[in-house]
Amino acid sequence: MTQGYEGMNVLVTGAYRGIGAACAKVFAKAGAHVLCADLNDPVETVDTIRAADGTAEGIICDVTDEASILELFQHVNTHFSTLNAVVNCAGIIHERGLLETTTSEFDQVMAVNLRGSFIIGREAIRAMQGSKGRVIMIASDLSYYGRESYAPYVSSKHGVLGLVRCWAKEFAPHILVNALCPGPIDTEMLAAENMSPEWRAKELEIPLARFGQPEEIAEMALFLAGPNAAYITGQGIGVNGGSIMP
């Protein structure tokens, strides 16, 4: 266990796989009790944590459905004495040229990545009222620059940074709000069904010339939730192999 995390109550969304699953496992290993939420049943993540003597439970939540999120936080408020941190990893990616992108495709990306982040963040901060807490959102290195054929995704992640900056000012000093901005990470988002081979190859044209690992994002999330990050708020922190240097 890691000093400063024992007994913490942490909510991780998108915990079925990828960065979300890695965050859930890293927090549990550090001694936190983790509530794993995802549209898909995160039972595998929970079982892995419990097999390593960590404490976790799973719940199904659709971040595009406000009622589903409110039900999630009803569970949080009923079972947690306090919510110490939330790591919102739920997200989708979409690669398509502007002229081929439909309104429904745009709306779907926004519903998950931006509207879902808004509602998750709002309810997490509501649950943290009267105590200190940490809100950690997942943005992207693409939050800082445009990319052809990714307009909905880039717009949604740029919006996440806007939420973080506003909330950091509104709820300081008791609640610290930050975003992680991953570069190319070796998850299902980089799979062929989500990203063309041409863009996968371009993702490697960065100084470190490799895909990052989900655990590298999770370790930074753990740091932001811990006692040594008490002077950090309103930031978009790049964990990106040098893909962008703002």
153 is catalytic: yes
Q: Is 36 helix (H, G, I), strand (E, B) or coil?
A: strand
Provide the residue-wise pLDDT of the chain in tens; the chain has 246 residues. 677 899 999 999 999 999 999 999 999 999 999 999 999 999 999 999 999 999 999 999 999 999 999 999 999 999 999 999 999 999 999 889 999 999 999 999 999 999 999 999 999 999 999 999 999 999 999 999 888 999 999 999 999 999 999 999 999 999 999 999 999 898 876 665 566 777 778 778 889 999 999 999 999 999 999 999 999 999 999 999 999 887
87, part of any domain: yes
Question: What are φ and ψ of residue 232, in 5° steps?
Answer: -125, 120
The answer to whether 218 touches 23, Cβ cutoff 8 Å, is: yes
Range(s) of the domain holding residue 124: 9-239
Of these residues, 5, 150, 153, 231, which one is catalytic? 153
Number of folded domains that form the chain: 1
**In this structure, what CATH number is given to the domain that contains residue 71?**
3.40.50.720
Other CB atoms within a 10 A radius of the CB of residue 223 amount to 14
Question: Which of the 8 DSSP states describes residue 212?
Answer: B
Stated as kind and residue range, the H or E segment containing 76 is helix 66-79
203, part of any domain: yes
